[in-house]
Amino acid sequence: VNNYTDEKSQQVYCIIDKGRLMKMPFNNLSLLDYAINSTLVLSNVCLQKQDRVGLITFSNKMGTLLAADRKPVQMANILQLLYNQETDYLESDYEMLYLQIRSRIKQRSLLILFTNFESLSGLKRQLNYLRSIAKHHLLLVVFFENSELTQLAGKSAANLEEVYVKTIAEKFAYEKRLIVKELLKYGILSILTPPDKLTVNAINKYLELKARQAT
């Protein structure tokens, strides 16, 4: 039984983007706050499932890199490292992230990247680095719906100005769906989620991947 458990355990790294796009607010919290809260809950679930959990944060430079482990103190280590994390207004450096992952994470792992892309062109600037990461690891990209724009796109337009607003909102919502398709084209898993449903959707996807691994 012990041997079986060891074989089915895996390394899971939660990677949190602290760049400028994670500064966006939703219900008095930033997207970074939602990513941190989700990471804490998800890490605890992974440890309960006997997986080894690690943590990476980055923006224009590397932040935290906590090696994956399942020791009893690992959850306390993650909690301490995520306390008072802040975002900035700088562009995140995905090339640096890729090089750090290649040099520091030798074993194939599940990498759960909490980030945000507002447009397909924004994704394409980073896509080569994401594809390179996905060659060596199982990469799950988690990014956010713009809930306010989604609501605007669903409203009926009563005048010309509202027609313009509705059209723009629909365009942005469509771009988000294109990002999901573009990632899937290269075999990269993704979750497009409203901020307030992030934790539930991330846990469900992890459990789905865990069950798939066990079969």
Give 115-148 pLDDT, tens digit per residue.
Answer: 999 889 999 999 999 999 999 999 999 999 876 6
Model confidence band, residue 82 (pLDDT cutoffs 50, 70, 90): very high
Q: Give mean pLDDT, residues 51-57.
A: 97
User: 84's torsion region: left (phi>0), alpha (psi -120 to 50) or beta?
Assistant: left
Q: How confident is the model at residue 24 (pLDDT cuts 50, 70, 90)?
A: confident
Q: How confident is the model at residue 179, as a pLDDT? A: 95
* Mean pLDDT score, 165-191: 86
> pTM of the full predicted structure?
0.88
Residue 80 pLDDT more than 70?
yes
Q: What percent of the chain shows pLDDT beyond 70?
A: 85
Beta bridge partners of 55: 14, 66
Q: And the tokens for 161?
A: 């100005």
Whole-angstrom distance between the N-terminal and C-terminal Cα of the chain? 16
Six token digits for residue 113? 């990247």
What pLDDT score does 76 carry? 96
* CA gap 119, 36 in Å, rounded: 23
